[in-house]
Amino acid sequence: MQISELGEFALIDRLTKDVQLHNASTVKGIGDDCAIVDTTQSAGRALLTTDLLLEGIHFDLVYTPMQHLGYKAAMVNISDVYAMGGTPRQMLVSVAVDRRITVEALDDFYAGLRLACERHHVDIVGGDTSSTLTGMVISITVMGDAPTDEVVCRSGAKDTDLVCVSGNLGAAYLGLQLLEREKAIYFDQLRQQPQGTQLPFEPDFAGKEYLLERILKPEARRDVIENLKKTGIHPTSMIDISDGLSSELLHICKASGCGCRIFEERIPIDYQTASTAEEFNMNVYTCALNGGEDYELLFTVPLADHQRIAEIEDVKVIGHITRQDLGTLLVTRDGGEFELKAQGWQHNS
């Protein structure tokens, strides 16, 4: 069904009718000039984050299922709240689509959004819908809260702190390379057909499922935050890895006025990541350092927490914080030392 058949108000009603509210602090959701949040229920600090996702820059609808897109759009913002030590609570969702996008496709997008929100107990409380001339636009804002003394900024890392990372890195970047390669093959095949031929995009990704999941359906690491709290560890600084380990670690070092020394061999890499990097003739550590979209947590803890951090599942110590004048260094397997560079995440553009 075309969106124009439905009209804006009916569309909003359709997309939001199944939205459920989980948080006691949500006084009023969709349907007024503003959403209303009870701040007397808040633990002391509200946390606000927003992300803009644009078709052709941040995502490609050729290989991104709408439901995954909704899920990921929610997740990247939820991840930012966890990265401050907070609990995500409310979400505003703005979305603009052109005529290619059907009502059913938007249903799928919202199903993905709702699934992410249900898993993380976040309430969709408002937003905006619009048409665009070209390309889908998604803007999501999440509000969370945290007790005043539990908020973790980028700026608290101190000399001798341990540098820790959750999960493993580089997988999302290699998942993207796979998708881009298959897309190129698909368009090559399409060009060889008579014009107007419909050809399904059905590449075989057997054995690479994990990499695809990492790029298409990342998961914010609430489990890590919960385990840190349970173990009584309070990170001195934290950030989520959206732009690659190197860039994020430099953010922490700059904000904290310190240096760092991390060890290549300690950077956690999944088996599929390593084998696919080889297939692409890429250095897997470069993928981990400069690739992006892993949405793992990078954080520092006092040296005294060394024992306790070792007990936390799926967290690895990859190095330590140093004095600023010692630089921001990567130590390679053969003992070479290199300055980390903030190459960051190069989007498709």
For residues 37 and 89, the answer to whether their CB atoms sit within 8 Å is yes
Region of 16-24, 38-46, 207-215, 273-281 interacting with a copy of itself (CB under 8 A)? 38-46
What residue type is assigned to position 225 of the chain?
Answer: I
- Of 248-287, binders to a copy of itself (CB under 8 A) are 255
Answer positive or negative: Cα dihedral of 72, 169, 246, 254. positive
Please tell me whether residue 33 binds a copy of itself under the rule CB under 8 A: yes
What is the smallest separation between the CB atom of 217 and a copy of itself, expressed in angstroms?
A: 21
Rounded Cα–Cα distance for residues 236 and 159 (Å): 11
Q: What value, to the nearest 5°, has the Cα angle with vertex 162 and ends 310 and 76?
A: 85
- Of 61-80, binders to a copy of itself (CB under 8 A) are 80
Contact with a copy of itself (CB under 8 A) among 3, 11, 19, 96: 96
Rounded Cα–Cα distance for residues 137 and 173 (Å): 22
Q: Which is nearer to a copy of itself, 84 or 211 (CB)?
A: 84
Region of 41-49, 267-275, 276-284, 299-307 interacting with a copy of itself (CB under 8 A)? 41-49
Region of 181-189, 200-208, 237-245, 286-294 interacting with a copy of itself (CB under 8 A)? 237-245
DSSP-assigned letters across all residues of 121-183: T-EEEEEEEEE-SSS-EEEEEEEEEEEGGG---GGG--TTPEEEEES-SSHHHHHHHHHHHHH
- Of 97-126, binders to a copy of itself (CB under 8 A) are 125-126
Q: Which is nearer to a copy of itself, 8 or 226 (CB)?
A: 8
Please tell me whether residue 332 binds a copy of itself under the rule CB under 8 A: no
Contact with a copy of itself (CB under 8 A) among 2, 17, 24, 133: 133
Q: Which residues contact 224 (CB under 8 A, 6 or more apart)?
A: 82, 166, 297, 312, 314, 315
| 216-250: b (≥16 Cβ within 10 Å) or e | bbbbbbbebbebbeeeebebbbbbbbbbbbbbbbb
What is the smallest separation between the CB atom of 252 and a copy of itself, expressed in angstroms?
A: 10
DSSP-assigned letters across all residues of 54-76: EBTTTB-TTT--HHHHHHHHHHH
Please tell me whether residue 32 binds a copy of itself under the rule CB under 8 A: yes
For residues 340 and 48, the answer to whether their CB atoms sit within 8 Å is no
Q: Which is nearer to a copy of itself, 90 or 276 (CB)?
A: 90
Region of 13-21, 107-115, 168-176, 341-349 interacting with a copy of itself (CB under 8 A)? 341-349
What residue type is assigned to position 16 of the chain?
Answer: T
Give me 265's structure tokens: 């061999």
Please tell me whether residue 234 binds a copy of itself under the rule CB under 8 A: no
The mark string for 151-190 relative to a copy of itself (x by CB under 8 A, - otherwise) is: x-xxx-----------------------------------
Please tell me whether residue 150 binds a copy of itself under the rule CB under 8 A: no
- The pairing of strands 297-301 and 237-240 is antiparallel
Per CB under 8 A, residues contacting a copy of itself are 8-9, 27-28, 31-40, 42, 44-52, 54, 56-58, 80-81, 83-84, 86, 90, 92, 94-96, 125-128, 130-135, 137, 139, 141, 143-145, 148, 151, 153-155, 238-240, 255, 342, 344, 347, 349
